[in-house]
Amino acid sequence: MPRIPLRTRLREAGAPLAVRSFRLHFTARMLSWTGSAVAPIGMAFAVLHLGGGASGLGLVLAANVAPQILLLLIGGVVADRWSRATVMVWTNILSAGAQGVAAVLLWTGAAQVWHLVAVSALCGAASSFFTPAAGGVVVEVVPAEMRYAANALLKIGQNTVKIAGPAVGGVLVAAVGSSWVIGWDAFTFAAAAVLCARLNLAPTKAKVRTGFVADLREGWGDFWSRRWLWVMVLQGAVVVPVWLVGYQMLGPVYGENYLGGAAGWGWWSAPSPAAWCSAPPRP
């Protein structure tokens, strides 16, 4: 087979960015991911500096995860019934407001652990509605022949931010404090809401209204009929809690006690080969 030049491959890979709605969606997601990549470090060390310890940090994590488990199916029904763009705008606004309140409370010294638990729960609830709505945007705005490239661009962008996020977040927490890091997350949510409001999505297809509960039952039946899907969900139900406890709860506690704080933990938790090779020796 003839060899395809690199320039041609790059042009084909970036072709979805020529579609205005996808470009807006991609930019909004990238902005939001830059905030979400550093915010967990800021939130974790905010809890520890408030004296919450591992138990307080565990409450914050649980408050974020529980709404996503309980409300995700409802979020899918909402995304099918209302405009995806509207759902994405309002969930971003809710997250921006919650994180903004947390940043102000931390900056003024009025924050308590329960405040951060409440903020984490609100952001988790917003995520349970945002995720199903955002999941269908590519299908709506990108031609069929570009969808693989569009999804690849989103995944590459997300993974790139994830690699740099922990190290950058740790350095920022050490340099300017958790309030500014969480404030940046609030700003990225607000900016994403503005971009999502400009999305030109097709009107929701008309469907027979069978009632909210009936739609939930239909969604559950469709989920349960796909064995590969519920097996993956069960696997995640086992693996994710272990990861949360080991990485996002005990990790920051270890970093605070043995790695010199947020900067040390952020550096060592970043999955970057360059960081591993050039990192300073452990204390």
Q: Is the pLDDT of residue 87 over 80?
A: yes
Q: Is the pLDDT of residue 280 over 70?
A: no
pLDDT score of 269? 67
Q: Is the pLDDT of residue 272 over 50?
A: no
Nearest to 257 by CA among 80, 44, 91, 103: 44
pLDDT band at 227 (very low <50, low <70, confident <90, very high): confident
- Residue 50 amino acid letter: L
Q: Is the pLDDT of residue 13 over 70?
A: yes
The Cα angle at residue 38 between residues 33 and 40, in degrees rounded to 5: 105
Higher pLDDT, 55 or 279: 55
Higher pLDDT, 6 or 231: 231
pLDDT score of 11? 73
Arithmetic mean of pLDDT over the chain:
82
Per-position DSSP letters for 199-221, written without gaps between them: --PPPPPP-----HHHHHHHHHH
What is the spatial distance between Cα 132 and Cα 120, in angstroms, rounded to a whole number?
Answer: 19
The helix/strand count (H/E) of the chain reads as 13, 0
pLDDT score of 171? 84
User: What Cα–Cα distance (Å) separates residue 26 from each residue in 3, 103, 115, 195, 283?
Assistant: 30, 26, 32, 10, 40
pLDDT band at 274 (very low <50, low <70, confident <90, very high): very low
* pLDDT tens sequence across 127-163: 999 998 998 899 888 888 889 999 999 999 988 888 8
Across 67-93, average pLDDT: 88
Higher pLDDT, 17 or 223: 17
The Cα angle at residue 68 between residues 62 and 69, in degrees rounded to 5: 85
pLDDT score of 273? 41
CA 87, 88, 91, 96 dihedral sign is negative
Helix (H, G, I), strand (E, B) or coil at 2: coil
* pLDDT tens sequence across 30-68: 999 999 888 988 999 999 999 988 889 989 988 998 898
> 35-49, 213-227, 269-283: which has the minimum mean pLDDT?
269-283
Burial status of residue 124 (CB atoms within 10 A of its CB: 0-12, 13-18, 19 or more): buried
Q: Is the pLDDT of residue 277 over 50?
A: no
Helix (H, G, I), strand (E, B) or coil at 280: coil
pLDDT score of 25? 94
pLDDT score of 278? 36
Query: Among all chains, which residue has been given the structure tokens 């938790």?
Result: 269
* Percent of the chain with pLDDT strictly greater than 90: 36
* pLDDT tens sequence across 163-216: 887 778 888 888 888 999 999 999 999 999 999 999 877 655 545 456 767 777
Q: Which residues contact 217 (CB under 8 A, 6 or more apart)?
A: none
CA 239, 232, 237, 42 dihedral sign is positive
Q: Which two tokens stand for residue 19?
A: 């579609």
